[in-house]
A and B are shown apart, each in its own frame.
Chain A
């Protein structure tokens, strides 16, 4: 397995270089260093000299990817792309264009993201699996039919509606939770309940339908029929056989998102005023802070690759027949 992990890690390097290059090109197709300087320095009374100075201080006065004025390796190394990319591979994100330490900001802001994402994932899993098992149990009955109709209806509603509706209903009309906000320590829980409820409820439709399909696929297999023939109760069949054998596709969906839980939820964080990494990325895009955008895309890509690797490893745990070679 170790050889497999090493090989996959090595595969990640060209992928990350590609992602980094793509981010770089896309960003600079839309923005020029002059645009970034103007955005950073403000709209009023900005002189050309100030723009040049800003670019010089941050190394944005070099050519983008090819320095024809340089000699030797300098044609590649004495460029913005090389300057800004190399350190990323050591996970040294450097400073944002406004001078703040990106690594420090990420470590500060990942906790609020996790504080929402982990309960949403865990509670969501529990609710979705329970509900879908229930639907599988009552398959073919009117309960199953109406359950699926409910799921389709729920997954057809925009996530924004859940957020605004939840805030208005539970926060404003029923006065049960703060509409938005965040706090640290012991006071954090009361700000987390509403976004977690909304995060879970908004995912019930799609999640339950997906799991129901998985369970129904398993439930018609021969080993389930054998289990029933042995006289096992329906609970034993569902929990002991169906659920266990449906774990691989469930794991595929769950483990792959585990590392990206750090990256936060853009909408939830924005509407609830949660200072997580989702809003960090959006703010950086709005401010044209390339250093942060590049760092967050790189981190997202690296975490996604890690997620896929973890998924593969988890297969071996869930199903002893799977071997990583």
Chain B
């Protein structure tokens, strides 16, 4: 026997099965030949090794994506616009703010929020001029200022991301422009244009984008606002429209905006441009940190304007072109959005300045290091909250918000009302960040309504209505609302200014004396008896309307409907019932609701306001008379109009933040509290969770370009994902056994039937 004369041990171990295989039937021999004992061991080892390297079974990502510095997150709603002239939603800015770079940005760590240069070499110099064009000193009386000029110098050697629009052909023309007949054949995405190139960012690209804001066909949401402030903006819009019509008539789909002049915006040299505004508009500086003012290469717009491109969805709205740290390499908003590192990024260092708290939190550990720290960010479409939450718990999303359904699982409220993570979350190393948002949710009165606003021109009736509003302001218990419907995620508002915004006061000085009293070191809502007293003074003792002899009936208009909102609407009814008022809820769809607001036919309503920038002007202007919704189609949904408030607003908006401005704001807030056109609802508090491997996770409520600061510890993530997601295989065996066991009676019965003759 071959096995009896081994030359060495190894050969003996491999020879034995072969020898035994000789005695087996052919089919089994084959198996034995291919899987001798030694190879079995090797196979098992290989499988084990493969299993060690493979992602868990329930991983939604391909193998090998867990360990690299890739950020995994989700989005619930597909972004509509990625064109920086048009995009105005936070879910869109989450993507394009990583791609486009306006001249300024917010400092990542400093609070209160502070602007710093991004592509600008320094903060813009603002020059003031009078009506004769003579330069005025900084801080000149705004009434004397005819125009103000922002001169911005950008850093040299910044390059755009690789893009087909920049590719030149050998003859000096452009490789992909014009494409000509058949040039688009077989091209359905930007990836079908294989060649890429870049060019240097210049001041003219910023000028070009500002011109794009004025073009009516681009539907920029800030076109109306900018026409009020930028010199020549409105005139340029007319010129651009006329030129576009001429171009369309001539069969040209692209209008070269470089050839049209906007008097207020001009490139002074390759790296410098200036924007000239009418009068003063100090808040303009904040707009320079938004994507609307990011640069746009004209080549890109011309490239996308070619015939057939729009039909193939190859547009600027789909494929952004920027200079930022990332570029959108996969845009499938029905599935996944992927941002990859821009190889042409000019480089930026992590900030070195921050507070001691930042240092203690490790937020300065990366000070001075080049950003970005991650290679790629993958955002998966996740429309439903339950799968999104479960995948976060499995470690497949690096961060997450907290839906109401999951709140109790994630957060426990301490004895003093503080929010803490549950032990389950802490065991997983999950961390919690909270921040009061720069937005307000309020209940408004339509001041044009005779019952809640008072008859125009009748001071006594206006005073009656004011007392009625004040009484309601006391009765509607927002602390209770926050506790019941928001899981405690909010702060009852004392006025229109959220904490942290210039002008907002905290402590005793900051309470709304119409609604609160300061007791035991905290604001306490006034008693319902006080509210009833106000009702009596308003002529509605015990809530009885003297005109009818029955309970006063008020109407609440809302777009909330469905079983989910029933309890909330009932809560509103109960709040008014405390005063004997019968609140009639008129639910409708959002379109009809908006129509009612535009026509001024609503009486009481709820709405919210999200700040564009951290300046008190942005929170007070929704109550400025000339912004009235009915008269001017503005954002003042309550149609509040108060001459003193409006005059103060006109002065305050143009002032630098300081003591004088604070005094004006104090007076304005006092007027609002007295007049109570809004019940100042609450400031929502954002709760966000992240895993231990997700670094530099400081929430920033104004900046959107924060992806570059984030850090991922891929090794820890891989380890935790494997630990948390081991497949429970015994369950499969149990299921199979159950199936087999349950089949036994059926098999027995079947056999019995087959054996039996009689039926």
Contact = CB atoms under 8 A, between A and B. Distances in A.
B591 interface: yes
Interface in A158-194: 164, 167-168, 171-183, 187, 190-191
Interface string B186-218: 001000000000000000000000000000110
B161 interface: no
B728 interface: yes
A174 B386 contact: no
B534 to A, nearest CB: 34
A68 interface: no
A31 B311 contact: no
Contacts of A283: 78
Q: Most chain-B Cβ atoms within 10 A of its Cβ — which of A30, A40, A173, A182?
A: A182
Q: Most chain-B Cβ atoms within 10 A of its Cβ — which of A32, A183, A273?
A: A273
A50 B223 contact: yes
Interface in A28-87: 30-32, 35, 38-42, 44-50, 53-54, 57
Contacts of A172: 58, 390, 393-394
A95 B311 contact: yes
Contacts of A187: 62
A271 interface: yes
A175 B58 contact: yes
B224 A49 contact: yes
A228 B759 contact: yes
A319 interface: no
Contact of B334 (A46, A109, A190): A109
B749 interface: yes
B635 A143 contact: no
The secondary structure that dominates the A interface is: helix
Q: Most chain-B Cβ atoms within 10 A of its Cβ — which of A57, A141, A180, A270?
A: A180
Given A138-B746, A283-B78, A104 B313 contact: yes
B619 to A, nearest CB: 14
Contacts of B59: 178
A174 B335 CA distance: 25
A250 interface: no
Contact of B749 (A31, A44, A47, A141): A141
Contacts of A168: 386, 390
A300 B217 CA distance: 33
B224 A275 contact: no
Contacts of B610: 44
Nearest to B74: A273
B728 A273 contact: no
A73 B748 CA distance: 77
Contacts of A179: 58, 60, 387, 390-391, 394
Nearest to A142: B745
Contacts of B223: 47, 50
A174 B727 contact: yes
Nearest to A134: B746
Interface residues of A, number: 64
B317 interface: yes
B631 interface: no
B399 interface: no
A134 B753 CA distance: 13
Interface in A260-311: 270-273, 275, 279-280, 283, 287-288
A234 interface: yes
B750 interface: yes
A191 B88 CA distance: 34
Nearest to A289: B80
Given A181-B380, A273-B383, A191 B60 contact: yes
A273 B221 contact: no
B589 interface: yes
A208 to B, nearest CB: 15
A184 to B, nearest CB: 8
B8 interface: no
A320 interface: no
B57 interface: yes
A151 to B, nearest CB: 15
Interface in B515-572: none
B134 interface: no
Contact of B312 (A45, A54, A104): A104
A134 B725 CA distance: 38
Given A30-B591, A279-B383, A175 B727 contact: yes
Given A143-B746, A271-B387, A176 B224 contact: no
Contacts of A138: 746, 749
B731 A167 contact: no
B415 interface: no
B647 interface: no
B315 interface: yes
Interface in B385-413: 386-387, 390-391, 393-394
Nearest to A99: B310
A273 to B, nearest CB: 5
A233 interface: yes
B751 to A, nearest CB: 12
A165 B315 CA distance: 41
A9 interface: no
B13 interface: no
A45 B56 contact: no
A101 interface: yes
A53 B313 CA distance: 21
B664 interface: no
Contacts of B380: 181, 273
Contacts of A272: 387
A40 B87 CA distance: 11
B58 A32 contact: no
B335 A273 contact: yes
Given A179-B58, A181-B60, A270 B383 contact: yes
B660 interface: no
A323 interface: no
B224 A45 contact: yes
Contacts of A183: 62
B72 to A, nearest CB: 11
A175 B56 CA distance: 8
Interface string B6-39: 0000000000000000000000000000000000
Nearest to B78: A283
Interface in B320-357: 332, 334-335
A268 to B, nearest CB: 11
Given A48-B633, A134-B746, 6 more contacts: A41-B219, A44-B610, A167-B390, A168-B390, A171-B58, A234-B754
16 contacts: A30-B589, A35-B591, A38-B594, A42-B221, A50-B216, A50-B224, A53-B216, A95-B311, A101-B313, A138-B749, A143-B745, A167-B386, A172-B394, A178-B60, A234-B754, A273-B383
Minimum-distance CB pairs A-B, first 8: A275-B334, A35-B591, A181-B60, A180-B387, A178-B60, A47-B224, A174-B728, A275-B335
